[in-house]
Amino acid sequence: MSNQALLTANHLDVTLSGRAVLHDVSLSLQPRHLVALVGPNGAGKTTLLRALAGLLPSSGSVHVDGEALASLSLRERAKRFGYLPQGHVVHWPLDVKDVVALGRYPHGATDPGRLSPADEAAVLRAMQATDVMPFAARRVTELSGGERSRVALARVLAVEAPIVLADEPTASLDPRHQIDVMKKLRDVADSGVLVIVVTHDLGLAARFADTVLVMSDGRLVAHGSPADALSNAIMADVFRISAYRAYYQSETVILPWAGI
């Protein structure tokens, strides 16, 4: 595994309508890692994700593979980040394949009806990796919530970016689909991508992530392995809960138990 940092942020500050929502966040993350970004509601997780992707103005700097984000054009940035927003709505009943093909937009493929062989292959790979092929010709509005989340993930994977940012990809999914999505993201990370996942599910974070970032009140308060970052002290301080801990099939199990 390479120790070269792929994504670094230095002293990120974000102020939205007069309120500091992100305060002096610095981090350095490596490829082939699944990073879980956790914290209570309003801690600034989504803001950090957007700031990293350059979707909102921030002071401080973000570097991708040594290049400053600020020096890149919008399209060059778009090639480096696959961004999966919360809720992943599609406003019109588009065909599934057309939605996935939008992932090639940063690469200049603006017409899903006429993709280059390379773009076509990337779309196909993304649809295969997410098991979207069976309903490729259907409309997104006809799909179930679980199927739709896979389409959204396929669209993000089709970018074939070195970094994937996913904002609560497991929210509103049933347990089976939550595990499915996390497994898929784990596979993506194992293929060499840096994946950052915002989640409220500490159990999923502990089980699937290599690194956990804990945020509270716009600050990064812990950064480490799941065992370190989700210690009893942090659970009490940040989340104000106690947790049940165990090992099952050689994996860490954390079960939020009671408020304190």
Partner 1 sequence: MIATTIALAVLVALLALGSLGTGPVKLSPVTVLDALFGGGSDVQQTIVREIRLPRAILGLAIGAILGLSGAALQGLLRNPLASPSLFGAPQSAAFGAVLMIALGWADVRSWALPVAGITMAFTSVFVLLSIAGRSAGLLLLILAGLAISSLAGAATSLVMNLSANPFAALEIAFWLLGSLEDRSFRHVTLALPFITAGAILLMSQRSAFRALSLGEETAQSLGVNVGRLRLLVIVGVALGVGGAVAVTGTIGFIGLIAPHLMRPLIGHDPTRLLVPSALTGSALLLAADIAVRIIPSTTDIKVGVLTSIIGVPFFLYLIVRERRALGGGVA
Interacting residues with partner 1 (CB under 8 A): 50, 53, 55, 74-75, 77-79, 81, 83, 85, 88-95, 98-99, 102-103, 105-106, 110-113, 155, 159
Nearer to partner 1, 159 or 220 (CB): 159
Nearer to partner 1, 181 or 222 (CB): 181
Nearer to partner 1, 98 or 222 (CB): 98
| Angle at the Cα of 50 from the Cα atoms of 161 and 217, rounded to 5 degrees | 135
d(CA 213, CA 47): 14
Shortest spacing between CB 128 and partner 1, in angstroms:
21
Nearer to partner 1, 68 or 236 (CB): 68
d(CA 223, CA 211): 7
Shortest spacing between CB 241 and partner 1, in angstroms:
31
SS3 113: coil
Cβ atoms of 64 and 111 closer than 8 Å: no
Shortest spacing between CB 235 and partner 1, in angstroms:
31
Q: How far apart are the first and last CA of the chain?
A: 40
Nearer to partner 1, 55 or 241 (CB): 55
* Per-residue DSSP letter, 135: G
Shortest spacing between CB 73 and partner 1, in angstroms:
8
Shortest spacing between CB 36 and partner 1, in angstroms:
20
Nearer to partner 1, 97 or 207 (CB): 97
Place of tokens 């994937």: 164
> Residue 18 phi/psi, 5° resolution?
80, -5
216: its two tokens: 């509270």
Place of tokens 């098991």: 131
Shortest spacing between CB 51 and partner 1, in angstroms:
13
d(CA 66, CA 244): 41
> In terms of C-beta density within 10 A (0-12 exposed, 13-18 middle, 19 or more buried), how is residue 117 classed?
exposed
Shortest spacing between CB 145 and partner 1, in angstroms:
17
Nearer to partner 1, 62 or 205 (CB): 62
* Per-residue DSSP letter, 236: I
- Residue 237's identity, in one-letter code, is D
